[in-house]
Chain A
Amino acid sequence: MSALGSGLDAQEIDLAVTPLRELNAALHAVGEDGPRHWRVLNPRGAHALAAGIDAPIEVDVEGHAGYYCAGMNKLATVRVHGNVGVGLAENIMSGTVVVDGSASQSAGATGHGGLVSIRGDASARCGISMKGVDIVVRGSVGHMSAFMAQKGRLVVCGDAGEALGDSIYEARLYVRGAVAGLGADCIEKEMREEHLREVAELLARAQADGCDPAEFRRYGSARRLYNFHVDNAGSY
């Protein structure tokens, strides 16, 4: 993640005057010659803001965003200086999405890659069906987080709600605080040296200071529910 400049040279789009679709179309068409840094003013909870970007650009959203913010993100760094609604960075492929405030339900849902960093809390179903994305939540997550998670890492610096990791496949979950309950086939696992390193690396990437990796506990799949058989590992 490159450091954010002064913002003086950023392309500013004010959603109080520019239609949302115009902004998203411009972000989709940015190519190699378009502005590298964008600032979005007056988002006012607009849906699908900065969704579908496929370019290594930086976007700063100056306020609260609505549903599906930065969905399907590829390569871009999107920072929301506020809260976001349902489905933050849904199906993110790569790049980084940072939220200064809190996120509503299903943050990082089905994400394939990249990093989602939430400085506040995330509510229910955070990381549902995650497929390789890394999610770091500075606060707590709601119930049924990492439901049917398949791949990737979820790091929660606060607490986790009921049924964490229900029907989980192969994602790794790290929680620092209390877990209200584990879902079906989710169990606590040993924190080995490589896991401590993994948590430290993710916290550093997400710039989540003040947490000692040794305070986290690891959870993952007991591999009883989806009939994983180690002899078939090469087929998965």
Chain B
Amino acid sequence: MCGIAGLFSKSLDVSGGLGSHLGAMLMQLSDRGPDSAGVAVYREPAPIGSSKLSLFSPDPDQDWGAVRDALAREFGAGEHELRASHAVIVVETDAEAAQAWVREHLPELRVMSAGQTIEIYKEAGSPREFIEAFALDEMRGSHALGHTRMATESAVTTEHSHPFSTGLDLCLVHNGSLSNHNLLRRRLRHEGIQFETDNDSEVAAGYLTYRLREGATLEQALEGCLEDLDGFYTFAVGTAEGFAVLRDPIACKPAVMAETDEWVAMASEYRAIAVLPGAETATMWEPEPGRVYSWERARV
């Protein structure tokens, strides 16, 4: 069992309180996932020509100033923004180059996300601890995904937590379990997709990364899951413009969606939506199995 939540803002009010709304949703999903928690928040886009990295260090004494200085010397970089075990740094180069450089020169760090707007934070521990340690309440943004984890098939660590990055500005959260992930992981490695854990959800993320790299649209990649993934899943996928939801063809895992003039939300259980302003009168429905639902902000 895990809990997932997504919130897409349609108003300045909701954007201004995005982190605190998402935190309230995660608190309601604590029973479904007391082991770990994580979020992907889409906010404060990096300037054109720059990109944003979310970095994690297992070392509590990590010298983030030195990391920032090294990136500044190589590419130019802004000040780092520290949140618990993670730091976000805007780098004056494209996301792929920045990510590759960190992986090569600072292998002790993990790149949790890379892109223009995405920031990923995740950690072992209860959702309440996570929300406080990462100061989630103060985050503003356009949309966000969250996850509370109850581990069923692999270890409880930061790296095993969700969301998983699936490419630039893309991420996945998963409720469920996959049964063909070992076979699929081997095949995807053969295609050059890298994996950092033995976690099944990371394979789903890797699968999406692979399909998108090969030219599929997000919708095509998700529809491919229906063919190629064996198991139970409700997925929520974050993109730079919005998010998408997919349930397995027999709908083993729960999901409910709701929409008002101010927001669109999805969650494993309605009680996580009930904490949002105006939830009582929201349009509400249960997403059908095997169908891709997506929301996008119009590109300006």
Interface, chain A (partner B; CB < 8 A): 44-47, 63-64, 66-67, 83, 85-86, 101-102, 104-105, 123-124, 142-144
Contacts and interface: CB of A to CB of B under 8 A. Distances in A.
B251 A45 contact: no
A45 B250 contact: no
23 contacts: A44-B274, A44-B279, A45-B269, A45-B272, A45-B273, A46-B271, A63-B280, A64-B274, A64-B280, A66-B270, A66-B271, A83-B270, A85-B254, A85-B256, A85-B269, A86-B254, A102-B285, A102-B286, A104-B256, A123-B251, A124-B289, A143-B250, A143-B251
Contacts of B251: 105, 123-124, 142-143
A144 B250 contact: yes
Given A102-B286, A104-B254, 4 more contacts: A47-B271, A85-B256, A85-B269, A102-B285
A154 B233 CA distance: 29
Interface string B250-284: 11001010000000000001111111000110001
B33 to A, nearest CB: 15
Closest 8 CB pairs between A and B?
A45-B271, A45-B270, A44-B274, A45-B274, A123-B286, A124-B251, A66-B271, A64-B270
A86 B269 CA distance: 9
Contacts of A104: 254, 256, 286
Contacts of B286: 102, 104, 123
A66 B250 CA distance: 21
Nearest to A62: B280
B contact face: mostly helix, strand, loop, or mixed: loop
A142 B254 CA distance: 14
Interface string B176-196: 000000000000000000000
Interface of B: 250-251, 254, 256, 269-275, 279-280, 284-286, 288-289
A104 B279 CA distance: 17
Contacts of A63: 280
B271 A44 contact: yes
A104 B286 CA distance: 7
B239 to A, nearest CB: 27
A220 to B, nearest CB: 23
Contacts of B273: 45
A90 B70 CA distance: 60
A83 B269 CA distance: 12
A104 B289 CA distance: 13
A64 B284 contact: yes
Nearest to A64: B270
B288 to A, nearest CB: 8
The CB with the most chain A CB atoms within 10 A, among B254, B272, B286, B288, is that of: B286
Given A86-B254, A143-B250, A67 B289 contact: no
A5 B285 CA distance: 31
A124 B251 CA distance: 8
A12 B248 CA distance: 41
Contacts of B275: 44
Nearest to B31: A47
A193 B222 CA distance: 49
